[in-house]
A and B are shown apart, each in its own frame.
Chain A
Amino acid sequence: MLYLFYLLAAVSILSAVTVVAARSPITSVIALIVCFLSIAGHYILLNAQFLAMVHVIVYTGAILILMLFVIMLLNMNQLVEQRKPLLVRIAAVATGGLFFLVLLAATHQGLSVAPAHFDAGIGLVHTIGTVLFRDYLVPFEVSSVLFLAAMAGAMVLAKKDGTEHVNLPPSSEPGQNA
């Protein structure tokens, strides 16, 4: 069982590095799908069956497919991305590495929690649904308002309206970019 964890961890870390390092956005999205599927495997290993299903449906099924659609609709695979200067790249990697070291140093002692009162049915739909609709009912309802706002905001942002093209130079007409 420990080897299964190591296998899943290696897959998630390698695919996460691929997301950052890949040249083409399509490769990045595919690597991110692999990474999220391995994280769903971690959820199943941790007895969170409901969250594993929701994770696969929401992330892999909706968000990443939406990103693939955007890449294909905007022809982003043909764009050449300019790289940042070497100093900025070194600083970015150093920032990530140092942040990792700080987090490890902050938690390397005193956080060894023993699974004392362990409950196997904690990730089942029944348990999560009971807690969700008993203790977290108001945040659940508020999140529907958030979704409504996000939906309206996305439509307003992505809409082509006639007034905005007046302020733009003729070279940035959307018909010529496609």
Chain B
Amino acid sequence: MENVITAIRVVPLGHYFFLCFLLFAIGMAGALLRRNILIVIMCLELMLNSVNLLLVALSAFLGDTGGQVFVFFIMLVAAAEVTVGLAILVQLKRNTDGVDINQLNRLKW
């Protein structure tokens, strides 16, 4: 327990910023890059998780429990979002026989 506590003193906060921004950028590039709707949903999850990690790091560094409660709520919202997203995926597959997001571009007009 005691040497776990010292980890926060060893790892600088800037490292966590770097890691979370990189994860967020990877998720953002993936969401723009891929055409499979399931991969796009997974990239959204990746972005949500990078923000979660940054919130937990700041909460630990600032000594504030509120950040971790926010991460808890973000997890709840992410679970609900994935449920609805997968239902839309099943319906898309059933109606168009594919999971390509370009099938959905008629929503633009």
Contacts and interface: CB of A to CB of B under 8 A. Distances in A.
A158 interface: yes
A113 B8 contact: no
Interface residues of B, number: 82
B28 A32 contact: no
B46 A16 contact: yes
A61 to B, nearest CB: 11
A100 B100 contact: no
Contacts, number: 261
Contact of B87 (A59, A82, A157): A157
Given A1-B3, A113-B61, A172 B21 contact: no
A119 to B, nearest CB: 5
B17 A32 contact: no
A20 B19 contact: no
- Pick the most buried of B39, B60, B64: most chain A CB atoms within 10 A of its CB: B60
Interface in B1-56: 1, 3-15, 17-19, 21-30, 32-36, 38-39, 41-43, 45-46, 49, 52-53, 56
A58 B75 contact: yes
Interface residues of A, number: 93
A66 B64 CA distance: 33
Given A47-B4, A76-B99, A112-B13, A146 B77 contact: yes
Contacts of A4: 7
B73 to A, nearest CB: 6
22 contacts: A13-B22, A13-B23, A20-B29, A32-B46, A44-B4, A47-B8, A71-B38, A76-B99, A79-B36, A92-B32, A103-B21, A115-B8, A115-B60, A120-B5, A122-B64, A122-B65, A128-B68, A139-B73, A146-B76, A147-B76, A172-B97, A174-B94
The 7 closest A-B pairs by CB, nearest first: A96-B29, A20-B30, A92-B32, A150-B80, A100-B25, A157-B87, A154-B87
Interface of B: 1, 3-15, 17-19, 21-30, 32-36, 38-39, 41-43, 45-46, 49, 52-53, 56-66, 68-69, 71-73, 75-84, 86-91, 93-100
